[in-house]
Structures are given as structure tokens and as C-alpha cells.
């Protein structure tokens, strides 16, 4: 059921429906899922397994290591269908990071696009060692490399008020309008939907 992407609570419910006398706890379901996932990886580390899966799905990915080439610092990846969508609908993009969502506590930077029918689609993800200008410059350079034409540059980029990201967007995509997300600025600007830079 884990392979079918069933949620742990649904797995537990199914187990209890199949066997009314089952005393299985949710913790046991999580432990069994963890063991199954480790078995899928075989002797590979989590990162090696991720890269293997990216290659199996023919995803485009780029890595960047530290100067001694001993530690991976940044990982950028995008699915081929996402790249096709980007080159079809490059006009409006949203960029943001999430925190503490993985074992390594690395920020996960996501780039999302908006279609002409106002649907969103995921373009690319990047695990970053830090949210510094250097990391964002590298990430946006990898992103720009996904565009098939210089005429396909985004017209609008929506971000939060991350100063490093704001500077990099202005450097890497100087002709793109930069808009701040209302959700991130509403404490400072009441009644505004978007604040133009």
C-alpha cells in the first residue's frame, strides 16, 4: 500500500477492516513503511537513491559540491514534462522555500508556474545548503538553462521578502517584474493584494 502512495492512517484502517481483532498501532505502520523504504534503497544512501530515481524518470538534475568536492551543497531537479510546461507557460512564476521538511534540514526551494487557465504546475525543486545569494544565483542559472529560448523569459516572479532572493532575481532576470506575495507581506501592508517592487 505504501508503494501505491496510501497514507499511513488509510493503511491502518484497511488492516483493521481486514482483521477485526488486529491490535496494530499507527507507530507500527510507520515503522513498517520505514523498513520497506530502506529495503527499496538497498545499500544506497538516501541521496544516491534519489539520484537513481531522477535518472530512472529521465529528470534533468544538477548538483554542486563544496570546493573540496566532498560534500554536496545544492541539488536542482526538474521533470521533463515540467520543463515542457515551463516553455509553454513561462509568464508567471512563484518561488519560495520550505524549511525543516527533510532529515538534513536543508531548505527546499520550489519554483511553480501558472498556466493561462490559472492552474499551477511544479517546475523545479532544489535542496540548498543555505539561502544565500550564491545559492540562489546557481539555482536560477540552472532554471534559466531549462528555457528553450531567450524569448521565453518569465514576465512576473512572485516571491516572499527574502532579501537574498530579491537581489538575485534582479540580477539574473533583470527584465522580469518582481512581485511580493500578499500572504508574506500582509502584516506590513494591510488591504493590498500584491506589492510591486
Q: Are residues 17 and 79 in the same domain?
A: no
* Sequential DSSP letters for 130-170: --SHHHHHHHHHHHHTT-S-GGG--SEEEE-S-HHHHHHHH
φ and ψ at 13, to 5 degrees?
-60, -45
Phi, psi angles (nearest 5°) of residue 111: -115, 125
Of the pLDDT bands very low, low, confident and very high (cuts 50, 70, 90), residue 194 is very low
Do residues 133 and 36 share a domain? no
Tell me whether residue 71 is in a domain: yes
Give me the pLDDT at residue 42, please.
78
Location of C-alpha cell 487557465: 117
And the C-alpha cell for 163? 532579501
93 shares a domain with 26: no
Which domain does 156 fall in, by range? 61-196
Burial class of residue 49 (count of CB atoms within 10 Å of its CB; 0-12, 13-18, 19+) = middle
Is 105's pLDDT higher than 80? Answer: no
DSSP conformation letters of 94-115: EEEEE-S-STT---EEEEEEE-
61 φ/ψ sector (left φ>0, alpha ψ -120 to 50, else beta) = beta
CB-facing half-sphere around the CA of 188: CA atoms within 13 A: 10
CATH code at position 104: 3.30.420
Per-residue buried b or exposed e for 66-75, using 16+ beta carbons within 10 Å of the residue's own CB: eeeeeebbbb
pLDDT-derived band at 183 (thresholds 50, 70, 90) equals low
Q: Does 122 reside within a domain?
A: yes
Rounded CA-CA distance 169/134 in Å is 12
User: DSSP class of residue 69?
Assistant: S
Residues 147 and 181 in one domain: yes
pLDDT in tens, 70-88: 788 899 999 999 999 999 9
Q: Is residue 51 part of a domain?
A: no
Asked whether residue 192 carries a pLDDT value surpassing 60, the answer given is: no
In this prediction, residue 184 has a pLDDT band, given cuts at 50, 70 and 90, of low
Give the least confident one: 53-57, 63-67, 152-156.
Answer: 63-67
- Whether residues 27 and 67 share a domain: the answer is no
How many domains are contained in the chain? 2
30 and 85 part of one domain: no
Bridge partners of residue 169, in order along the sequence: none
Q: Are residues 89 and 35 in the same domain?
A: no
pLDDT tens by residue, 8-51: 888 888 888 888 888 888 999 888 888 887 777 778 777 788 88
Amino acid at each position: 500500500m505504501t508503494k501505491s502512495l496510501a497514507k499511513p492512517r488509510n493503511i491502518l484502517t484497511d488492516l483493521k477492516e481486514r482483521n477485526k481483532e488486529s491490535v496494530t498501532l499507527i507507530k507500527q505502520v510507520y515503522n513498517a513503511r520505514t523498513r520497506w523504504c530502506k529495503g527499496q534503497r538497498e545499500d544506497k544512501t538516501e541521496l544516491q537513491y534519489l539520484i537513481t530515481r531522477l535518472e530512472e524518470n529521465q529528470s534533468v538534475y544538477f548538483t554542486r559540491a563544496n570546493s573540496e568536492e566532498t560534500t554536496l551543497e545544492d541539488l536542482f531537479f526538474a521533470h521533463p514534462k515540467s520543463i515542457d510546461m515551463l516553455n509553454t507557460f513561462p509568464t508567471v512564476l512563484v518561488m519560495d522555500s520550505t524549511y525543516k521538511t527533510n532529515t538534513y534540514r536543508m531548505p527546499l526551494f520550489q519554483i511553480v508556474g501558472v498556466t493561462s487557465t490559472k492552474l499551477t504546475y511544479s517546475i523545479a525543486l532544489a535542496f540548498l545548503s543555505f539561502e544565500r545569494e550564491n545559492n540562489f544565483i546557481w539555482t536560477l542559472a540552472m532554471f534559466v538553462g531549462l528555457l528553450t529560448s531567450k524569448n521565453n523569459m518569465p514576465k512576473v516572479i512572485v516571491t516572499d521578502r527574502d532579501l537574498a532572493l530579491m537581489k538575485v532575481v534582479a540580477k539574473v532576470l533583470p527584465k522580469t517584474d518582481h512581485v511580493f506575495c500578499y500572504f508574506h507581506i500582509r502584516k506590513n501592508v494591510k488591504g493590498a493584494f500584491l506589492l510591486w517592487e
